[in-house]
Chains A and B, each alone.
Chain A
């Protein structure tokens, strides 16, 4: 069975600062993928970044980077230079060999002036 844990229900960050959203996972699969999604107040799910379990380098997509620590089973999302538009719910998810996505409960990020 797969499990994703996001322990931060809510986070605040000042504009232009960096923020780290935590995600730990548990799986018995050797091959798996880790995802981060953003859900703004409008409700849609927006794909941000992906990390494969065999990828040696941490994934980056613009201001988003994924701090992947395989031994610790963590896949934290780092957002650099936060913007007001980054205020949203953020979900960590994992896909194992069965191709099914398992989601965490999410972290609500609020960016302040």
Chain B
């Protein structure tokens, strides 16, 4: 099993550009989520999904969209990037107790 994979690992965007952060898992987990981590803070939940076709907002959803067309994939879309979205983004999946995190994407918006 590859576990949770995220692409890209690093990305630099200009303000106003759009992009999609990819997340995939091969563990057949129903629950997937996106977090952002800013310096001096813990991880904050952006969006989550409890299964294919079902998504919901977390703590900091503004500026981000998600969709869940398959169990395996949970992409995060930035529609119009802003410097405030500079952060490290983690995708996670779970089924039961353990929550497995991807390696993260470091995004810089200039």
Residues in B with CB closer than 8 Å to A47 are 98-101
The 0/1 profile, CB within 8 Å of B marked 1, for residues 37-54 of chain A is 100000111010010100
> Which applies to chain A's interface (DSSP): helix, strand, loop or mixed?
strand
Q: Is there an interface contact between B98 and A50, defined as CB atoms closer than 8 Å?
A: yes
Decide: A4 and B42 in contact? CB cutoff 8 A.
yes
**B97 adjacent to A103 (CB under 8 Å):** no
Asked if residues A43 and B103 are in contact (CB atoms below 8 Å), the reply is: yes
Q: How far is the CA of A4 from the CA of B92 in the complex (A)?
A: 19
Docked-complex contact B58 and A100, CB < 8 angstroms = yes
Specify which chain A residues have a CB less than 8 angstroms from the CB of B43 in the assembled complex.
45, 91, 93, 101, 103
**Interface contact B88-A43, CB-CB below 8 Å:** yes
CB distance from A48 to the nearest CB of B (A): 11
Given A33-B97, A44-B104, also A103-B44 (CB < 8 A): yes
In the complex, A106 Cα to B59 Cα: how many Å?
A: 18
**Bound form: Cα–Cα A103–B48 in Å:** 15
List the interface of chain A (C-beta within 8 A of B): 4, 33, 35, 37, 43-45, 47, 50, 52, 91, 93, 95, 99-106
Q: List 5 A-B contacts (CB under 8 A).
A: A43-B103, A47-B101, A100-B48, A101-B43, A101-B99
* Residues of B that sit less than 8 Å from A by CB: 31, 33, 35, 40-45, 48, 50, 58-59, 88, 90, 92, 94, 97-101, 103-104
Cβ-closest 9 pairs across A and B = A103-B42, A45-B101, A103-B43, A105-B42, A50-B97, A104-B42, A43-B104, A91-B42, A100-B45
